[in-house]
Amino acid sequence: MEMNPDIALQHDRTVMFAKRPKVLIIGAGLGGLTLGMLLHKADIPFEIYERAQEVKPLGSAMYFNCTTANFFKQCGIYEEFLSIAKDVASIKMCNEKRALDFSLDFPGHEKEFGAGGYIVTRPQIYDLLLRQIPKGRIHLGKKVLSTENGGNGVLIRCSDGYEADGDILVGADGAYSAVRQSLYEKLKKVNRLPPSDALPLPYSTVCLVAQTVPISSEEFPDLALDESQFRQYINTKTMYSWVTLTTAQNTICWGSILYLDEKTSKENDAFRSSEWGPEAAIAMCRKVKDFPVISGGDKIMTLKDLMDRTPQNQVSKVMLEEKVFKTWYDCRTVLLGDACHKFNPQGGVGATNAIHDAIVLANLINGLPFHPIAEEIEAAFKAYQDERFGWVQSAYESSKVHRTMMGQSVASKSTRAIAKHIPAWVFRRIQVKACSYRPQVAFLPLVEDTGRVPPAQQPSLWVKAPVELERLSTVQVV
């Protein structure tokens, strides 16, 4: 296939069969699955390619609220989502003495923004989205080695010799995206890559994440409570913080974060650049096993009690990078989720923003004319970044504040003091800003937003598909 970005086919759409663009999605994470589900509903051809040989039920808990509720309702999966999630109305900030220091409460979210907040385990939400996509559309064991991106189409080459071509390439393959690296390498050669995008991903923390097997409420009384007990623990004597969350499946999602200084950052460089296994996670577990946790009962427990109830192969050690890239697209290639913006998970906004990306991108791909040329596709990608970038930047800044609040620096202590004594009206203003962007899918029936605070403007919501435009044109002529 010839891939020349300087050559664009001249289409005469009056004599061509109505053809939607074929989309190749690299990465079967939450963002890639969401985009695939929406393209399936729009009847747009797509394929998803994932480097892993199998999907493993790894990961801990995720937080979703009103900013995704309308989307889940549109897709007909909101009730099932509620059945696997647990309501959460506060984050309890605790200390190393197992005492509550202060609480960040989120009262009245359902009235204010149309829906409350929920904790759901990553395996559960992943399975829910996965079941919305035809099995034959997801191809496992496809590690992308190179990509081509030109005026006539896109092409991927995988390590097993497999090749695939299409009209649009979406990099939804995570923080170390192969699609982004291939795209940036080509842009750098022609001096079109901003210097900041060429820099390596900065990281300041390393994290353990895991989930126990189901536990009885006799052992862990907090599990019997209707609301998820979301507890953040801060220890002023170490460079760690840790977290526990109760789930609807009677499991405990837990994690521990190491805040790196100059010495520990160098120690973790080797881990960062290697293909690590469970040994790295086990080694970190030994360092944090004695950290105290609150069970809701009289029994004194530590993280080791949770580790003993967690399968070793389901404990992950991950780097926590933080960066918003300036370049999200070029020609027929576009990035989504962690591939173009990576947040520290303390803010709980990574998965939500990947879903928001997928909603906006699906709206704009659906709005492309039949047989779109490269210029039309790139214009849609520009509209996608224009709509999303400001919200992403705001979420990035918010996640940094949450990360700082959990650390041990002077800035961390100051941030906690401010959070502890923040006036109610200031906290509400922060919540309004964080919860006003509640995007919907343009090509699915819209749902009524019942929040007293109206949703923010969403330009992509008014994008029409070519078949809709033809119908409107016929009506106007008549």
Averaged confidence pLDDT in the chain: 88
Predicted confidence at residue 475, as pLDDT, reads: 43
Dist. CA 372–CA 464, nearest whole Å: 14
| pLDDT mean over 20-36 | 97
CA separation, residue 448 to residues 310, 352, 360, 445, 452 (Å): 41, 20, 19, 10, 12
Dist. CA 169–CA 323, nearest whole Å: 22
Tell me if the pTM is above 0.85. Answer: yes
Q: What are 311-340's pLDDT values in tens digits?
A: 988 888 888 788 999 999 999 999 999 999
| pLDDT mean over 235-243 | 85
The answer to whether the beta carbons of residues 116 and 26 sit under 8 Å apart is no
Pairing of strands 90-95, 231-234: parallel
Q: How many CA atoms lie within 13 A of 92 on its CB side?
A: 18
Q: How many CB atoms lie within 10 A of CB 151?
A: 18
| pLDDT mean over 105-109 | 88
Give the H/E segment covering residue 1: none
Predicted confidence at residue 6, as pLDDT, reads: 43
* pLDDT more than 70, % of the chain: 89
Predicted confidence at residue 9, as pLDDT, reads: 40
Local confidence band at 265 (pLDDT 50, 70, 90 cut-offs):
low
Q: Domain 13-58+122-200+323-467, what fold? A: FAD/NAD(P)-binding domain (3.50.50)
Predicted confidence at residue 468, as pLDDT, reads: 67
